[in-house]
Amino acid sequence: MNFTAEMIAGLISGEVVGDKSATVHTVSSIEDGKAGGLAYLSNPKYEQYLYTTQCSIVLVDKSFEPKQDVAATLIKVDNVGACVLQLLQMYQAMKPQKSGISPRASISEKATVGENCYIGDFAVIEAGAVVGDGAKIYPHCYVGDNVKVGEGTTLYPRVTIYEGCAVGSRCIIHAGAVIGADGFGFAPNAAGGFDKIPQLGNVIIEDDVEIGANTCIDRAKTDSTIIRRGVKLDNLIQIGHNVQIGENTVSSAQTGIAGTSKVGKNCFLAGQVGIADHITVGNFVKIGSQSGIDRDVPDGEVRFGSPALKGMGYYRSFAVFKELPDMARQLRALESKVAELTKSEE
């Protein structure tokens, strides 16, 4: 699909500076863009690339004035970030949509599939499962007994949803994610081994949740593991049994949350955060990368480090930590001087 600068400017209420007939067919970074690409400049540190980019069209803020000649056509807008998001959403909506049910899919006669669904090759939908209108289930997905998949939800290839779990409407679950595998529960026995504790609960995922590739969300031992509305989870995240994550919380890759912990709403967990079991993290909490949370965190606080400290406390401690080698040398020198003085007084 080709779009002219004039068409794009009309869609986002922009002002064209340059060739109104310049066309693009793809979106590119400003550094590596080629002819036919649409790029944007929102961070001043990338301005240098504006003067060398081969992109045909670049979005810039209305206040921006170039310091050199620019070969690309510029479109000036009120808010570059918001306009880029708007264009990407429009482009996504215009892409051909998957439709139809493959004859190679295995759908139980006791399952219910709504209207206008897409179900790909070798997808399996078991007895009692309910798939809502407009859902997309890509090849090799597994939807277990009595699973509910809401309207407009997309399951990308090889997503596995174990029996009895529920996924809300307009969710996106990326390839390889596993919903509802057994929680990690074992009890020591008299023989020195371990007996498996049955995991009898399920997983409930509310509306508008996105779950990254190869993320695992364990079923509860009893009751439910719950992912509230609007949560966004990155790839390779582990959510333990009976965990609850509050609405609109976001987590980056490789985070691990141990069983029965609770994370509040509108939190941000950076990459590789670890949260111990039976911990409560309040609302609007921010946790830095590779932090280890071993105790409850009140609403609105910031944590860094392992074990995690309050934001400024961590930085003060880190400032001291960097000086420890010099301080150790100074301490040894002082000990030597004290020893010499003590010896001379004898």
In 10 A of CB 242, how many CB atoms? Answer: 25
Which residue is catalytic, options 25, 140, 174, 241? Answer: 241
Asked if 13 contacts 78 with a C-beta cutoff of 8 angstroms, the reply is yes
The closest alpha carbon to 231, from 148, 149, 171, belongs to 171
- Bridge partner residues of 256 (DSSP): 238, 274
Query: Which residues, including other chains, have CB under 8 Å from residue 73's CB and lie 6 or more apart?
Result: 5, 16, 17, 18, 19, 20, 22, 56, 57, 58
* Distance of alpha carbon 254 from alpha carbon 130, whole angstroms: 31
* Distance of alpha carbon 341 from alpha carbon 170, whole angstroms: 77
Asked if 240 contacts 218 with a C-beta cutoff of 8 angstroms, the reply is yes
Query: Which residues, including other chains, have CB under 8 Å from residue 7's CB and lie 6 or more apart?
Result: none
The closest alpha carbon to 20, from 86, 90, 75, belongs to 75
**CA-CA-CA-CA torsion sign (270, 232, 123, 101):** negative
Burial class (CB in 10 A: 0-12, 13-18, 19+), 283: middle
- Phi, then psi, of 69 in degrees rounded to 5: -65, 145
Residue 241 designated active-site? yes
User: Catalytic positions, please?
Assistant: 241
